[in-house]
Amino acid sequence: MNQGSYIFRQVVGFLPRDYFEWLVKKYDGNKYVKSFTCWNHLLVLIFGQLSNREGLRDLITTISPFQFAFHHLGFGKSVSRSNLGKANEIRDVRIFQEFADRMVSIARSKVDGVKDFFLANKVYAFDSSTISLCLSIYWWAKMHHGKGGVKLHTLYDVKTDIPAFVVITDAALHDSQVMGLIPYEKDSFYVFDRAYMDTKMLYLIHKREAFFVVREKHKMVFDVVEDKGYNNPATGVMADQIIRFRGNKTRKNYPGTLRRVIFYDREGNGTFVFYTNNFDITAEDVALLYKFRWRVELFFKWLKQHLRVKEFYGTSENAVKIQIYAAIIAYCLVAIIKHDMKIEAETYDVLRILSAALLVKMPLVDLLNIPDLEKAVSDKYTQLEFVFKD
């Protein structure tokens, strides 16, 4: 008895196919292609992400018995290790990169974000995560000390829990060198760890009328223009100052004044020094913004645990990048489905259910009708449970 279309087919129905096909045409992605098109390629990669396949052999072995359903699943006439491996090697990575950007944009426009956040401004956390690779297999990914890998740099929208900007680079590239690529928005906050204490880049943010909060990397040389004499043991704020850099290089890179906040974390028994170009929010808010930076770390952890960005379906740089962008696309796809179908369950719960039912025929709305897994999220961010991390 025909019970409708496959769950996987319904899931990928949320993808903006017209835009993807426009990208394929833009970069001539289907040139000389007879059967395994870019669209087929994308759907197979998304299936691998959602079903948690650990490698090329695992993916092909899993889907091969369902060749009779390839047309209905959107895989094309056939999928083999050779044609999928070749596609990963030669397909233009810009198709998948720009489609991931589009999915990010759609997901962010749909997700309402945290209600009753303590600031009305947009808040972003920027950080990178290294994806380690074995040099004997990924020979092109040399980092240092005999290790290999690539870096996933992510600008994370704290209020929506959606990445706003993603770029993949060599692991040897210093984090601060990517700061110039960030699309800064006026009046938004950008939160950085101490690796991004680059005065020249920070002044670029200031000139673009955006705000930053960054942790001090090492002791800076400065003059105190004004000491507010503010010390609040109850909240941990030890000092709130307005300073100007004294060193020739740092003063040239950042000629204006800055705000310097010293915070003591009782739980971790550590002292933190923050710099910001915002003089209006409270010193406590400055420290609280830095705590929210941990959201991007949680995203990296979630991505590595629940999507396939450790085992790859190819060994070339092109194949690795395509698969990482496919993981971002899958993450945003689940976020879009959650919004459009008004599902309150956690993203991980939705992924677990989908992974077990992709090749089942039933209405997607019935599959995800899981009231027992719905969780209250209204107060998820009102009590900050994250800790400072070195």
Please write the tens of the pLDDT for every residue from 133-162: 665 555 556 666 556 778 899 999 999 889
328 and 266 housed in the same domain: no
Distant-in-sequence, close-in-space partners of 377: CB < 8 Å, separation ≥ 6: 344
DSSP-derived pairing of the beta strands 237-245 and 162-170 = unpaired
The pLDDT assigned to 371 comes to: 58
The answer on pLDDT for 247 being more than 90 is no
State the Cα–Cα distance between residues 334 and 350, nearest whole angstrom.
Answer: 8
Please write the tens of the pLDDT for every residue from 349-367: 888 899 899 999 999 999 9
If one counts the domains in the chain, the total is 2
Residue after which a domain boundary falls, among 232, 257, 279: 279
Residue after which a domain boundary falls, among 252, 279, 306: 279
92 and 17 housed in the same domain: yes
Distance between alpha carbon 213 and the CA centroid of its chain, in Å? Answer: 19
Phi (first) and psi of residue 77, to 5 degrees: -75, -40
Query: In this structure, is residue 331 part of a structural domain?
Result: yes
Burial class (CB in 10 A: 0-12, 13-18, 19+), 113: middle
Query: In this structure, is residue 381 part of a structural domain?
Result: no
- State whether residue 271 is helix, strand or coil: strand
> 213 is in which domain, residue-wise?
199-279
Model pTM score: 0.82
Residue 305's pLDDT band (boundaries 50, 70, 90)? confident
Query: In this structure, is residue 305 part of a structural domain?
Result: no
269 and 342 housed in the same domain: no
Query: In this structure, is residue 289 part of a structural domain?
Result: no
State the Cα–Cα distance between residues 97 and 102, nearest whole angstrom.
Answer: 9
State the Cα–Cα distance between residues 153 and 167, nearest whole angstrom.
Answer: 5
The CATH number given to whatever domain includes residue 246 is: 2.20.25
Question: Which of 220, 218, 226 has its CA nearest to residue 245?
Answer: 220
275 and 348 housed in the same domain: no
More confident residue, 290 or 143: 290
Residue range 68-84: average pLDDT?
Answer: 93
Residue after which a domain boundary falls, among 261, 279, 297: 279
Token pair in block for residue 111:
């997700």
Query: In this structure, is residue 74 part of a structural domain?
Result: yes
Q: Angle, to 10 degrees, between the axis of helix 17-26 and the axis of helix 38-50?
A: 130
Phi (first) and psi of residue 141, to 5 degrees: -100, 35
Residue range 54-78: average pLDDT?
Answer: 92
Query: In this structure, is residue 128 part of a structural domain?
Result: no
Distant-in-sequence, close-in-space partners of 291: CB < 8 Å, separation ≥ 6: 384, 386, 387, 388
Phi (first) and psi of residue 136, to 5 degrees: -70, -20
Burial class (CB in 10 A: 0-12, 13-18, 19+), 118: middle
The pLDDT assigned to 172 comes to: 79
Residue 372's pLDDT band (boundaries 50, 70, 90)? low
State the Cα–Cα distance between residues 116 and 271, nearest whole angstrom.
Answer: 28
State the number of CA atoms in the 13 A half-sphere of 41 facing the CB: 31
Please check whether residue 328 is in contact with residue 307, taking contact to mean a CB–CB distance below 8 angstroms.
no
Query: In this structure, is residue 161 part of a structural domain?
Result: no
From 51-65, 130-144, 203-217, the region with the lowest mean pLDDT: 130-144
12 and 85 housed in the same domain: yes
Query: In this structure, is residue 193 part of a structural domain?
Result: no
Question: Which of 295, 348, 314, 336 has its CA nearest to residue 114?
Answer: 295
275 and 320 housed in the same domain: no
The pLDDT assigned to 237 comes to: 95
81 and 29 housed in the same domain: yes
207 and 268 housed in the same domain: yes
